[in-house]
Chain A
Amino acid sequence: KAGVTQTPRYLIKTRGQQVTLSCSPISGHRSVSWYQQTPGQGLQFLFEYFSETQRNKGNFPGRFSGRQFSNSRSEMNVSTLELGDSALYLCASSWTGVGETQYFGPGTRLLVL
């Protein structure tokens, strides 16, 4: 069974631009969670989607948004990029949510110049 895939793997943007990241979960998994990892703050929870609905949200500004499609694939969008948005963005999937083992993708490394 294929693992969680994320595209693109690397991305360079400039301040003010917007970016869309994609996550394809393991087949059959309906929950997709997104996380931001930075050297200063470590891993932080962004949001979780389940069956196309945002079920939970972390403490991030409204510039960070996401959606999930009927095939469980998820996208994350960051608008008006800031330098501080440079980070590794990870998604994880599971059958029902963070109450069970999470399977992480390889991440998308975003650099904002």
Chain B
Amino acid sequence: KNEVEQSPQNLTAQEGEFITINCSYSVGISALHWLQQHPGGGIVSLFMLSSGKKKHGRLIATINIQEKHSSLHITASHPRDSAVYICAVRIAKLISSGGSNYKLTFGKGTLLTVNP
């Protein structure tokens, strides 16, 4: 079982619809990232959050640490929102010196297509 599961894998919406993409994880994390990847490969970091909710324009991200779940919402969707949305969790790794380092583990992504 993957440490990070996203749903749905594919999502098609009409322009103007409210969209929700979900991310569940099975390990303890210190933060969660939402990334956007457009055709051609470029990745943009949308949010990094460790609790509560963040909003940027039409995008809203929420996280529930107890339930190990995060959602990304897009209000008033637009064709330019069409992209792959990827959830990534930051997992702390204890190191021998007593500190910790971090690595990112990614979900498989959700392909969003918004039709005009």
Chain A residues packing against B (C-beta within 8 Å) = 33, 35, 37, 42-45, 48, 55-56, 58, 88, 90, 92, 97-104, 106-107, 109
Contact = CB atoms under 8 A, between A and B. Distances in A.
A33 B45 CA distance: 14
B31 A99 contact: yes
B102 interface: yes
A48 B90 CA distance: 13
Contact of B103 (A58, A100, A104): A58
B105 A45 contact: yes
Contact of A56 (B35, B40, B101): B101
A98 B102 contact: yes
Given A43-B86, A102-B33, A97 B102 contact: yes
Contact of B102 (A56, A101, A104, A107): A56
B48 A43 contact: no
Interface in B67-116: 86, 88, 90, 93, 101-109
A44 B103 contact: no
A104 B30 CA distance: 21
| Interface residues on chain B, size class | 20 to 34
Contact of A99 (B41, B42, B45, B90): B90
Contacts of B27: none
Counting from the closest, the 9 A-B pairs by CB-CB distance are A104-B43, A43-B106, A107-B41, A42-B108, A56-B101, A98-B102, A101-B45, A45-B103, A99-B102
Nearest to B109: A42
Interface in B31-63: 31, 33, 35, 40-45, 48
B41 A42 contact: no
